Amino acid sequence: MGQGRTWIYARKRPTDVVNSVSPVLDFSAHWNIRVGPEGRIRRWDAQDPKETSERTQNKMKKVFATMALAVFAIAGTTAVYSKQEKTTMVGGMAMYPSKDIVDNAVNSADHTTLVAAVKAAGLVETLKGPGPFTVFAPTNEAFTKLPQGTVENLLKPENHDTLVKVLTYHVVSGRLSTVALRKQIRAGNGTATLKTVSGGTLTLMMNGEENIVIKDEKGGVSNLTISNVYQSNGVIQVVDAVLLPN
C-alpha cells in the first residue's frame, strides 16, 4: 500500500495499532486510517457518530446554560434598577416619589416648624390624601423671618382657623412642576395667578431666565429654592418665605 489517508469501517479496538482489517465489520463507528510505509494500517483517529453527537449536545447545553445565566443576570440587574427611585435631597434627607407629602416632609430637618404646624392644624390626613397637591413649603428659616411670636401665636388652639388658612394658602390643587409654572407665566405675559386651597391667590413671576418668584396677597415675595420634589400625591416646591393671605 502507498502512504496516504483513507476512511475504512472497522470494529473499535483497545490498541492504537491495527495490523490488519478485521473481517468482522462494525458500521457503528468509522475510523480515520493512515497506511504506514511498511504496509501496516495504523489508527489515525476514531470517531463514533453517537459519541460525537453526545459531545455536540453537551457543548450546546453548556452554551445555552451560559446564555440563560446571562439573561437572568441582566433581568436581575434591570429589576434592581427599576426599584431604585430618583430622589431629591431636602433638609439633609432623600425625598422619595413613592411616599406622600407628609411622610417625606417629616424627615426634612428644614421643615420641622411646617410639620408641627400641619399637625396642629389637623391637616395631616388631608395632605396624605390622593390629591394631587402642589405645596409651597417654607423652611424653618422662612418662619424665623416672621415677626417674633407669630408662630407661637398661630399654634395656639384659639388661633386654629387662622393657622389652617395660612397653611392651606400654601397649597394649590394639581401637580405643578416648574415647567408648568413657567408656561403659565409666559401665557400670562409675565405673570400667572394660582388659586389656593384656602381660596386666596398667589401671583407668580420670573426673576431671570429660570428663577420663579411668588408674591402673596400682602405683597411679600418668596423664591423657589428647591424645585420639583415629586411625591406620590403631588409635588413640593420649597420656598424661602412664608406666604401670607389677606
Q: How far, in Å, are 85, 99, 130, 242 from residue 232 at the CA level?
A: 12, 5, 8, 24
Give the pLDDT score at 23: 43
pLDDT tens sequence across 15-47: 444 444 444 444 444 445 555 555 555 544 555
Type of residue at 98: S
- CA-nearest of 203, 211, 205, 213 to 246 is 203
Give the pLDDT score at 18: 44
Give the pLDDT score at 86: 87
Give the Cα separation of 152 and 117 in Å (integer).
10
For the chain, give every domain's residue range. 4-47, 88-239
Nine cell digits for residue 231: 411625591
Is-contact 33 6, C-beta < 8 A? yes
pLDDT digits (tens), the chain, 246 positions: 445 554 444 444 444 444 444 444 444 444 455 555 555 555 445 555 555 566 666 766 676 667 666 555 555 544 333 357 788 889 999 999 999 999 999 999 999 999 999 999 999 999 999 989 999 999 999 999 999 999 999 999 999 999 999 999 999 999 999 999 999 999 999 999 999 999 999 999 999 888 999 999 999 999 999 999 999 999 999 999 999 999
Per CATH, the number for 88-239 is 2.30.180.10
Query: What is this structure's pTM?
Result: 0.67
Expressed in percent and rounded to 5, the helix, strand and coil fractions of the chain are 35, 30, 35
User: Looking up cell 436581575, which residue turns up?
Assistant: 76
Type of residue at 58: N
pLDDT tens sequence across 148-186: 999 999 999 999 999 999 999 999 999 999 999 999 999
Nine cell digits for residue 209: 431666565
Strand partners, 137: 238
7, burial (CB in 10 Å: exposed 0-12, middle 13-18, buried 19+): exposed
Give the pLDDT score at 80: 39
Is-contact 131 234, C-beta < 8 A? yes
Give the Cα separation of 246 and 219 in Å (integer).
10
Give the pLDDT score at 84: 74
